Structure 1
Amino acid sequence: MARLVIVSNRVASPRERAAKAGGLAVALREALGTHGGLWFGWSGETQVNPPDTPKVFRSGRVTYALLTLDPDDQRAHYAGYANGSLWPLCHYRLGALSFRRAEWEGYRRVNEHFARALFPMLRPDDIVWVHDYHFIPLAAELRKLGFGGRIGYFHHIPWPTPEVFLSLPSHAALVNDLSHYDLVGLQTEQDVRALLTYISSEARGWIAPGGVVGLRERRFRIAAFPIGIDADAFVTDAQASVGSEEEQRLAASLGGRQLAVGVDRLDYSKGLPSKLAAFGELLNRYPEHRSKVTMMQIAPVSRGEVAEYRALRRELEELAGAINGEYAEFDWVPLRYLNRPFQRATLAAIYRNARLGLVTPLRDGMNLVAKEYVAAQNPDDPGVLILSRFAGAADELSGAVLVNPYDVEGMAEAAHAALSMPIEERRERWQANWEKVRTNTIHRWCETFIHELVNAVDQFDGPSDLLGEARRG
Structure 2
Amino acid sequence: MSRLIVVSNRVPVPSKDGGAAAGGLAVALQAALQERGGIWMGWSGESSGEREPGALSLQQKGNITYALTDLTDTDVEEYYRGFANRVLWPICHYRLDLAEYGRKEMAGYFRVNRFFAHRLAPMIEPDDIIWVHDYHLIPLAAELRQMGLKNRIGFFLHIPWPPADILVTMPVHEEIMRGLSHYDLVGFQTDYDLQNFAGYLRREGIGDDLGNGLFDSHGRTFKAGAYPIGIETAAFAEFAERAADNVMVQKTRRSIEGRDMIIGVDRLDYSKGIIQRLEAFERFLTSNPAYQNKVTYLQVTPKSRSEVPEYEHMQKMVAEQAGRVNGAIGTVDWVPIRYVNRSISRNVLAGLYRLATIGLVTPLRDGMNLVAKEYVAAQDPDRPGVLVLSRFAGAARELKGALLVNPYDVEGTANALARGLAMSLEERRDRWSMMMEHLLSHDVSLWCKDFLRDLVAVPSSDGSGAHG
The reply to whether TM is greater than 0.5 is yes
> What SS does structure 1 have at the residue aligned with 2:10?
coil
| CA displacement, residues 386-438 of structure 1 (integer Å, 9 cap, x when unaligned) | 00000000000000000000011110011001111111111111111111111
* Distance apart, 1:244 and its partner CA: 3.8
| 8 A contact 2:14–2:21 mirrored in 1 | no
**Contact 1:19 1:343 survives alignment (8 Å):** no
* 226-235 or 262-271, larger mean C-alpha shift: 226-235
Q: Counterpart in 1 of 2:70?
A: 68
* 1:126 matches 2:117: no
The aligned counterpart of 2:23 is: 22
- Structure 1 residue 246 displacement after superposition: 2.9
How many residues end up aligned between the 2 structures? Answer: 462
1:236 aligned residue: 238
Distance 1:339 1:216, change over 3 A: same
- Paired residues of 1:271 and 1:362 also in contact (CA < 8 A): yes
Structure 2 equivalent of residue 45 of structure 1? 46
CA distance in 1, matches of 2:159, 2:267: 14
Q: What is the TM-score when the length of structure 1 is the normalising length? A: 0.95
SS of match in other structure, 1:77: helix
Question: 2:195 aligns to what SS in structure 1?
Answer: helix
Partner-residue secondary structure (3-state), 2:303: coil
Structure 1 unaligned blocks of 5 or more: 463-473
**Partner in structure 2 of residue 210 of structure 1:** 212
Deviation per residue, 1:425-457 (Å, 9 max, x gap): 111111111111111111111111111111112
Aligned counterpart, 1:384: 386
- Structure 1 residues 459, 440: CA separation in 2 closer, same or farther (over 3 Å shift)? farther
Alignment of 1:56-205 (within 5 A): 56-205=58-207
Contact 2:14 2:20 (C-alpha < 8 Å) held by counterparts: no
Partner of 1:252: 254
Counterpart position of 1:3? 3
Identity fraction in percent: 49
Query: Does residue 343 of the first structure (1) align with residue 345 of the second (2)?
Result: yes
Match of 1:327 among 315, 322, 329: 329
The worse-fitting range, judged by mean Cα deviation, of 123-132 and 27-36 is: 27-36
Give CA deviations for 1:156-189 in whole Å, capped at 9, x if unaligned.
0000011101110100111111010000000000
Paired position in structure 2 for 1:280: 282
Q: Residue by residue, what CA displacement relative to the aligned partner does 1:327-353 show, whole Å, maximum 9, x if unpaired? A: 111111111000111111111110001
- Deviation, structure 1 residue 211: 1.6
The alpha carbon displacement at 1:69 in A equals 1.3
Q: Contact 2:43/2:71 (CA < 8 Å) preserved in 1? A: yes
1:13 aligns with 2:10: no
Alpha-carbon distance between aligned partners in 2 of 1:20 and 1:219, rounded to the nearest angstrom: 36
Q: C-alpha distance in 2, partners of 1:147/1:19? A: 32
What are the Cα deviations for residues 276-311 of structure 1, in whole angstroms up to 9, with x where unaligned? 111111110000110110000000000011111111
Q: Provide the secondary structure at the position in 1 that maps to 2:366.
A: coil
- Kindly indicate whether the alpha-carbon contact (under 8 Å) linking 1:157 and 1:365 is maintained by their aligned counterparts in 2: yes
Paired position in structure 2 for 1:408: 410
Deviates more, 1:54-63 or 1:288-297: 54-63
In the other structure, the counterpart of 1:222 is: 224
Instruction: Give the 3 Å change call, closer, same or farther, for CA 29–212 of structure 1 in structure 2.
Output: same
CA contact under 8 A between 1:19 and 1:345: conserved in structure 2?
A: no
Q: 3-state SS of the aligned residue for 1:329? A: coil
CA RMSD of aligned residues (A): 1.5
Q: Does 1:442 align with 2:416?
A: no
Partner of 1:425: 427
Change beyond 3 A, Cα 1:97–1:184 = same
Could you tell me which runs of 5 or more consecutive residues in structure 2 were left unpaired when the two chains were aligned: none
